[in-house]
Structure 1
Amino acid sequence: MPTEPDAAAAGPAIHPAPLPYQARLSQRDPASIDLVVIHCTELPDLAMAREYGERVLYPESGTGNSGHFYIDRDGTIHQYVDLDRIAHHVRGVNQRSIGIELVNSGRYPDWLDSRHQSMDEAYPPAQIAALIALLDWLAGSMPSLRWIAGHEDLDTELAVASDDPGRRVPRKRDPGPRFPWADVLAATSLERLPG
């Protein structure tokens, strides 16, 4: 079973950086993938995102939470998980989806503080250009790929605010209000997953 899209299809430069537990992640048929989920790391840099990705959160399987691809602010693309493996990046749709994480501070470090819910960091042009190139390559190489969604579209659960137990805030807000959906959708053949 191939682990990546057709190597003959020209694509962006991707730096393989498999997570230590990648072989413990469940396998899947890449033909079953029909969705890309866009995330932002909500962390200050790629190094911290890698640290979080390597954390074992599920002792029974020895795995943790991670996307498949990480795109740094300068447009560098890193692949942490092969596409024939199920990464834990969004509740309920991991089996059918590819997780793409954009390095962006989001609400860091006060993710659930009701006073710090704005996501003010813009996505640099180089990062968005790399995302579009990756999406184009994936869509051209994987005939089953049709949909794109933001993490916030799929995980709409509210969580108790860390500063006030009487308030609720969105558990996930990424990629957030600064993500240029119109530009990305205009540049890709993927369609926004209906809500």
Structure 2
Amino acid sequence: MRKIDLIIVHCSATPEGKDFTTADIDRWHRQRGFASIGYHFVIYRDGSVHHGRPLAQVGAHCQGHNAHSIGICYIGGLTTDGKHPKDTRTEEQKSALVALLRKLRVQFPNAKIRGHRDFAAKACPSFDATAEYAII
């Protein structure tokens, strides 16, 4: 298994209230030249957690940090018009994300939880994941 010291939270940068799937993200990422979906997990608006890349495989979600991190993406992150960042997480997504992060912290106790915005000039995941998950 890879040495994991980061768990990085992302949003799909899609409009509020619209559903997308791992297959959609896989297609988008392949169009950008990735081998497959770049995230290890995707959380749908209903709170269901779906697998992307296997944990043993290096992700493609945060340049310079992929080799030692796990990427989690929630569906949403933009206003309904798709023009501005917004924390669009449903209550189900919030609960699922906390549960997944807790599970991953058991497996990788030294991993820090961060948002993509902590590593790139982006709003992603449209909320301060570092502060929100500091006690997990």
Which residue in the other structure is 2:89 paired with?
A: 123
Aligned CA distance change for structure 1 residues 65 and 82 (closer, same or farther; 3 Å):
closer
In the alignment, the residues of structure 1 paired with residue 65 and residue 40 of structure 2 have an alpha-carbon distance, to the nearest angstrom, of 14
Residues 138-177 of structure 1 correspond to what in structure 2 (within 5 A)? 138-143=104-109, 145-156=110-121, 172-177=122-127
Pairwise CA distance, 1:155: 1.0
Unaligned residue ranges in structure 2 (runs of 5+): none
Per the normalisation by structure 2, the TM-score is: 0.81
Contact 1:42 1:108 (C-alpha < 8 Å) held by counterparts:
no
Q: What are the superposed Cα offsets for residues 3-62 of structure 1, whole Å, 9 maximum, x if unpaired?
A: xxxxxxxxxxxxxxxxxxxxxxxxxx33x1110000000123223x5323234233xxx6
Contact 1:45 1:105 (C-alpha < 8 Å) held by counterparts:
no
Aligned CA distance change for structure 1 residues 73 and 63 (closer, same or farther; 3 Å):
same
Aligned counterpart in structure 2 of residue 46 of structure 1, from 8, 13, 20: 20
Pairwise CA distance, 1:182: 4.6
The number of residue pairs the alignment matches comes to 131
Q: What are the superposed Cα offsets for residues 97-131 of structure 1, whole Å, 9 maximum, x if unpaired?
A: 00000011426875xxxxx3x32353112111111
Aligned CA distance change for structure 1 residues 93 and 181 (closer, same or farther; 3 Å):
closer
Indicate the structure whose relative CO is greater, using CA pairs within 8 Å and at least 6 residues apart: 2
Which residue in the other structure is 1:6 paired with?
A: none
Residues 1-195 of structure 1 correspond to what in structure 2 (within 5 A)? 29-30=1-2, 32-43=3-14, 44-47=18-21, 50-54=23-27, 55-56=29-30, 57-58=32-33, 63-106=35-78, 116=83, 118-143=84-109, 145-156=110-121, 172-177=122-127, 182-186=131-135, 188=136
- Overall identity of the aligned pairs, in %: 27
| Amino acid across the alignment from 1:99 | G
| Higher gyration radius (CA) | 1
In the alignment, the residues of structure 1 paired with residue 36 and residue 53 of structure 2 have an alpha-carbon distance, to the nearest angstrom, of 11
Once the two structures are overlaid, the 10-residue window that deviates more, 83-92 or 99-108, is: 99-108
Per the normalisation by structure 1, the TM-score is: 0.59
Contact 2:78 2:87 (C-alpha < 8 Å) held by counterparts:
yes
Aligned CA distance change for structure 1 residues 63 and 109 (closer, same or farther; 3 Å):
farther
Unaligned residue ranges in structure 1 (runs of 5+): 1-28, 111-115, 157-171, 189-195
Contact 1:74 1:124 (C-alpha < 8 Å) held by counterparts:
yes
